[in-house]
Structure formats: structure tokens, C-alpha cells
Structure 1
Amino acid sequence: MHLKIRLRPRVPAGTIVSLTFDDTNADQLPAEQTMKSLGLTGTFFTVSGWIDQPGYLTQANLQQIAADGNEIGGHTVTHPDLVNLPADEATRQICNGRVALTNMGFKVTSFAYPFASQDPNTQAIVQNCGFNSARGLGDLQSNDPASAGFPAAETIPPANPYDTAAPSEADSTWTLADLQNSVTNAEAAGGGWMQLTFHHIAVGTDPTLTISPDLFGQHPCLRRRQPRPHWKLLPALDLGGCSPAGTPGHTYLLKAWYTSTAPTQFELYYRTGTGYWQYWTASPLLNAATDWTQATWTTPALPAGASGISWGMNIQTNGTITTDDYEMYDTATTPGP
């Protein structure tokens, strides 16, 4: 299979606002329904170990949230302060959280640091676990006077995708004017990316990390949000005309040549017995390459019930990618030349 296409995605000019929700709190579900009624979506950064626990979203809730078009992101297994953990435990928290969500059928490419605690070593772990980006907190202007000298918005694309800037999380001190200013200040500064973070959206719960449903409903972003940019190139999701067959339990060696101006990765889907295509997984990110570079990666075991595979390469920032010479080998056999 040979494929050569040049992608020239363009990020819309102006201010992009992303609504993000941390910690898997059950009281985020009504807010998601409000957004759905307006045709809007957000990113739900999910603590995998808290799913189905009292006061938290259930797996069924998350399946519905994802079906409504929202993104499910990683937020570790138990929400620790990652910088204060040994590297092997931080790796388990970050990677195992992503694996758990992926095994539930979610496409998990974005991460948020618990407590915004991170350093270069933590960023490297997030990248090695297969995430494309990671959000911090408290490094853009907010209603805190101490943030007055901070930038008004993150750049597009971010200078460091594993430390994307965001204002402090919205809490009980925020007013409607604060929410409005988060958008208008970014616009006045020339635009960029504004990630707004919510924890509880309720009355009578955690007083520090809560805003009321009424205040959330007045947020200007509910009529102005634009989605995260994401482009991918895949063979047709068909019944076998283009997509290669696969054997459950087998792993596959993937190879492709590419040049790109932005990081890329392998992205994979599999076909179920009913013909439905399900997101499977993605490789760790590969660096941009000005010269032709061969990418290779071995997949995990193909899930039970799968009958076909579709895979390709993606970029999630503005840039270009050229690909060629796609190869796939069942590792149970000897790869060809």
C-alpha cells in the first residue's frame, strides 16, 4: 500500500476557546447537556480510577458524553501530584490512566496535569505515554490580580504542546464579568487559544472549585467556542476493499516514510464483526522531520472481535505532512523486505 498526500491544514484566525472539565465530577453532566443543546462540545479530563465511584461520572455517562462529540482526556489514575512521585510511579499513573480509558473505547490524546504539577521530566513521560498535548493551569491572565502580567492567551500553535497555558480554574470567586474578560482580553491581545477549566458546576458542593449552573449557562464561550484542530489521514473505513484484515490477539509492525513540519504519530482504528469502526490506539509522537524519515511502531494486540485495521498518520497543529510507502506486517510471521 502506497499513499502520498500533502496536508495543509489551517487554524482559524482569531480566538479559539476550549471548555475543559477536570476530575470526572458527576455534576458536570448537566453542564454537558446544556452544551449539547447548543451544539457545543468540550474536553473532559478523566481520572480513570474514579469512574463509577460515588459522586463521579460513570462509564455509561462518559460513553454518552463521548457520543455527544466531546473529547475524553487523560488525568491519571488517582490524581496525584506527579512531580513528587518517583518516575516509575508517575509513568504508571499517566500511562495506565490512558490505557484504561482507551480500553473503554475512548480516543485519548490530550492530558491535564493534576494540580498543574509538572516539570520537563513529567512532560517527557506524558509524551512517551502517547499523548499529543498536556494542559497546565494558572499561567494566563485570570481574575487573580497577580496574573495581570501573564499572557492573555496561548499561542497557536503552542510553543510547547506538553505545557499549554491556561488561566486558573473557574471557582466560586469568578463572576460573569471574569468569564467574559477571559475571552475579550484574549481577543484584544490579538487572539490565540483560551482553555477554560471547570471542576464542579453545582450548588452546595466544594465551595472553592464550584461555579453555579446559572453562571455557567451565561458563559460567553457557550456561543463562541471553536474545536481543537486535528487532522488525520487514514485508508477508507470500509468492509475490506481498502482496509487490511487483522487477526485478534496478533500484533502488527507498522512502517511509513514521512516528512513533516509538525509532530506526527500513527493512529489506528479497527473494524468489529458488525462492520462498525472503533478507535483503537495511537503511537507515541514522532518528531517533525525535514528529510524523509521512516517511522516504525509495533501495535498492541488487536482486540477480540476485530476483523480489520485502518491506520495512518496525523498532525494536530497547523503544518504539512507528506507520507509514502506504508507497510504492515503481522509479527507472527517474518516481515518481508
Structure 2
Amino acid sequence: MTAAATLFGSVALGVGVVAMPPTDGVSASSDAVAAIAEDGLSPHATDVPLLTLQEAGVQRLTNDAPAIVSLTFDDGTQDQVLAANILAKRGLVATYYVTTGQTGAPGFLTRDQLHGLADLGSEIGGHTVHHLNLPTVTQNEARRQICQDRENLRQWGLPAQSFAYPYAAHNDEVQRAVRDCGYASGRGLGGAVGSGESMRLAGETISPEAKIVESLRPENPMVTLAPNMFDRRSGIEAYQKDVETAVGVGAGWTQLTFHGICEREATTCPEIMVTEQELERLADWLVEQVVAGRVAIRTVGEVINGDPTAPVPSAYLSTGSAGDPNAQHAAFTPRRSSDPGHRVSDFTHQNAQGAPICWNGFAYGDNTANFTITSKTGHEGQEALRLELTAKGPGEAKWLPIMDLGECSLAAEGGQSREITYTARGGGAQSQPVAFVRDETGRWTYFSAGRFTPLGEEWSEHTWKTPDLPAGTTALAVGIALQQTGWNEVRQITVQ
């Protein structure tokens, strides 16, 4: 399996980045979910520098027209510099929705680049801290993901008023969280506009135009309408038709959504990414429409005209916290009430699909990995996490807690050393404990790993003491990795 591993119907896309299919009451574009899950929140690096206004040498194209078009780019991958340069050379602007937990990581935009985009006249919007599928996490975690993301941008001098739902997935509670965190709008995709009381495009009486053209004063700004994200199988012609539809409707607004950009020299390009040549053709065509007075290009914030300085509720900021560590669904719960620092995970709490709550399997590289949970066959007759590698290439596979801002994370402080003890068995492979740390912005990074340990088929206990955690650490995630073909089962992990 390359890049992603499937577990209980969910797809692990990266460290702490988990895409799950919509549950009941969740609205999402199925095309968007499937395509993003296949490609993942993948970093796409480029060495091309971001142009300045002076280097672009073109003034912004401004005009008044009844039809408005907003160009939007999701995830904040570094290759979006290519898009920004294409637009800047033509006097066009866009809205960039970034996941601040990845900002500055390899292949993602840096803070300086975000400021450079803003200097070009573009808008920086929020896309959560970790790109989680919000309806699949707790309400408190969803609020932390949304509020902390906006607070990160605010602290970086980039006040944000526009939000885009990861995987286009949302429900009524998530929409309320977007509003309560101070955002003025939330973007849907493919006519997916929510559920319950907010569903307003049900039935066959709604015209196709109504699903892709939003009012300039949206009925529900927390889920603004937009066509499906760009797909190379349809090409830019599909977006040209969408713009023509907006022109035909009259006073309407269309949002065009892109993800990664393939460089001109690329020999292959994933279906959900646009090539430089394709984006140039679309941008040139849009310039023609602007000059003809048929459309105007605006950022999402310029259309909604919200308040980017609206406060962020402090109750849902994650700095220095790991949510409620005593919650029933926490990854690590106190072993004894008299010793809150001694925490254990025994995987007894499971969701409706039988997956251990707060835990997920993750594989990267060219591997074939299977993740399961045994049923009452583990150590002392309890469940155990089982990982089997049947084909091994570069990379590894591991069980990890979901790296969030709340209950699935274990609170920790810089300068501490933690002792990890796990009970395991295996066949034909060596196991290794691994640790990741989270900083004040919510960003997770790899920290350290213990030694490789051969496991026999009898249960045995193993201990690893981590180095001192780095300064600024707010949370810790500990898992067990497998780097050879074979299998292991982990019954219990304790941290103290």
C-alpha cells in the first residue's frame, strides 16, 4: 500500500491527518472525499520563489460586474506558489485555505509565504489545524480544530474571516462551530450544503445552476455553494461552463476550488491537481471575461465582507491543553485516581465499526499493511491491536493515537522524560516504540523512537524511557511501529 493505509473504513493520510467517510447527518461531496482520500494531504514542494507585486509588474484587475468569481486553493501546499505567480502576472487574486498545523512543514507554505500571498492582495483563510473530517470527531475537538486554526493565523498577523471544510464535510454543529469561532463564511463543495435544519437543496426541484451559483448574500454563509473541486478528467472547460452559468444567472457568485499544482515539466499529474498550463489557460480566459465586463474576480472575504478581527473564544483554544484526559474515549486514561500521571491505553473503547477509539493505523511508503483489533484473545483475555506487514518496501507501518488537539492526545511539557511500557507479542518482525510531540500551534512532529525489539509469540513487557521532551511541547503521542514483514499485537501501552 502506498502513502495511505486503510483501517475500518478510514484512511490515514498523514501524521494526525485522518479522512473518514461521512456519517449519518453529514453532508459532503463524495467525489471530493474519494479524490482527496486517494491523493491525501500530500506535500508538494517547489523551489520557485513567490513573486512580489513589483516583480509581477501588473496592477490588480478590478471592475464591477454582476457575476463574481472567487479562485480558492485548499491545504496550503507549497506548490501553490506556482498558482500565485500565474495569477499575480495577470492581476488576479485568490483565497488560500491553509491547515496551520502543517504550515512550515516540508512541502507546505511557510509563514513568510503566507504573508507574501497577502501582500499580493490574496486572502488567507482557515482549513482547521490538522485537516480532520470534522463531523467524525467530538464537538469539542471540532471547535478546537476550527478556533485554534483561526487563532494561529491571527497570532501570525493574518486575521482570517473565511473557512473551508476539509473533505467538504459538515453538519449543523460543525457549522455553528465555524460561526462561533469568528468566521464569516464556510465553503462547501458540489452543492453539498449541510444537513438537518440547514439543508436547503433537497429534492428534484432545484436546478443544476442553483447548486453551483451562490447568491451574493448567501442564505447560509456558513455553507456557501460551490461546484465540485477541479478534476483533470473534466478539465478547465468544466469551470468555464460554471462561470458562464453564473453570468447567465445574473447577480451570482461562483467559487472555483483547486488543490495542488503540477509544475510545467511534470511528466504525470494527479487528477485532482491542475497543471501550470491548465491554470494559465483558465487565468487568461478569466482576464478576457473581466476586460469584457462579464465577471469580476474577488476573494471570498471581499464577497462576504465579514469581520476578520472578530474574537476567537478562548475556551476552545488548545494551547497547553490536551482536552479532557479523563474522558471515556481518551486515548490514555488514568490507571489510578491517586496517580493521574500514570496513564494506560488498553483499547477497550471502540466505535460502531469496531475500531479502537482514538487509535488508527498508519502506513507510508511501498507497503502492504493490515490493521485489525483482536477480540478478547489478547493478554489477560483483553483486546489487542494487531498489525501485519505482508509486503515491505521503503517506509513503515504503525499504530498511533489520532493526533488531535484534545482527548486523543496526552498532555506533556517540555523538559520532561516519559517512561513508555507496552505489552506485546509477534512473529517474524521487530517492533519499535515511536513518539511524536505537539507544539503550541497544534503542529505535530516526529520526536524520537526506542530500540527495535524482537517479539516472540508469548506476551512480554517492554519499557522505553524517552529523551527530555523539547521546549514548547504541549502534548505527546506514543505508538508502536513495524518495519519488517511479519506481525505484532499490542495489548497495552502505559505512559508515566
The TM-score, its normalising length taken from structure 1, stands at 0.62
Give the letter aligned to residue 66 of structure 1.
A
Equivalent residue number for residue 282 of structure 1: 310
**3-state SS in 1 of match to 2:222:** coil
- 2:156 pairs with 1:104: yes
Among residues 178, 197, 208, which one is paired with 1:149 in the alignment?
208
Q: Distance in 2 between matches of 1:32 and 1:25?
A: 12
Distance in 1 (alpha carbons) for counterparts of 2:180 and 2:81: 31
Q: Which amino acid aligns with 1:80?
A: L
Q: Detail structure 1 runs of 4+ shifted over 4 Å in the superposition.
A: 228-231, 262-265
CA pair 226-82 structure 1, distance change in 2 beyond 3 A: same
User: In structure 1, what is the Cα distance between the partners aligned to 2:119 and 2:80?
Assistant: 16
- Give the percent of matched residue pairs that are identical in Structure 1 and Structure 2: 35
Question: After the TM superposition, which of the residue ranges 90-99 and 35-44 deviates more from structure 2?
Answer: 35-44
Structure 2 counterpart of 1:170: 230
Name the residue aligned to 2:68. Answer: 16
Aligned mates of 1:206, 1:52 — CA distance in 2: 24
1:276 alignment counterpart: none
Give 1:221's aligned residue: 286
Q: Is 1:42 the equivalent of 2:105?
A: no
Determine the C-alpha separation between the residues in 1 that align with 2:253 and 2:70: 8
Q: Please give the alpha-carbon distance, in whole angstroms, between the structure 1 residues aligned to 2:172 and 2:158.
A: 27
C-alpha distance in 2 between matches for 1:36 and 1:189: 28
2:158 is aligned with 1:95? no
Tell me which residue corresponds to 2:130: 78
Q: Counterparts of 1:196-275 in structure 2 under 5 Å?
A: 196-202=256-262, 203=266, 207-219=270-282, 220-223=285-288, 224=290, 225-228=296-299
Q: Aligned AA for 1:149?
A: P
Contact 2:95 2:300 in 1 (8 A): no
Check if 1:68 corresponds to 2:120.
yes
Partner of 1:137: 189
CA 1:123 to 1:206, structure 2 compared with 1: closer, same or farther past 3 Å?
Answer: farther
The CA deviation at 1:190 is 2.6
Structure 1 position 67, deviation (Å):
1.1
Larger radius of gyration: 2
| Separation (CA, whole Å) in 2 of partners of 1:29 and 1:216 | 13
1:314-325 pair list within 5 angstroms: none
| 2-structure distance, mates of 1:88, 1:77 | 14
Using the alignment, how far apart are the partners of 1:91 and 1:174 within structure 2?
35
Taking the aligned partners of 1:230 and 1:55, their CA distance within structure 2 comes to 26
SS at the partner of 1:49? coil
The number of equivalent residue pairs is 228
Number of the residue aligned with 2:248: 188
Structure 1: 5+ residue stretches without partners = 1-10, 141-145, 232-261, 268-280, 286-299, 301-337
- Report the TM-score when normalising by structure 2: 0.43
Is 1:28 aligned with 2:72? no
Report the alpha carbon displacement of residue 284 of structure 1 after superposing the two structures with TM. Answer: 6.8
Among 128, 133, 137, the residue aligned to 2:180: 128
Deviation, 1:105, is 0.4
Distance 1:205-1:81 versus aligned 2 partners, 3 A rule? farther
Distance 2:208 2:131 in 1: 30
Deviations 1:146-189 (A, max 9, x none): 99835241111111110100001102213232231121122122
How far apart, in 2, do the equivalents of 1:209 and 1:229 lie?
Answer: 21
> Does 1 or 2 have the higher relative contact order (CA < 8 Å, sep 6+)?
1
- SS of 1:139's partner is coil
**Runs of 5+ in structure 2 lacking a partner?**
1-62, 193-203, 291-295, 318-496
Distance (whole Å) between structure 1 residues aligned to residue 267 and residue 68 of structure 2:
32
Does the Cα contact within 8 Å between 2:74 and 2:259 map onto a contact in 1?
yes
Corresponding position of 1:161: 221
Q: How far apart are the structure 2 equivalents of 1:175 and 1:86? A: 37
Contact 1:131 1:284 in 2 (8 A): no
Change (3 A) 1:264 1:115: closer
1:59 aligns with 2:111: yes
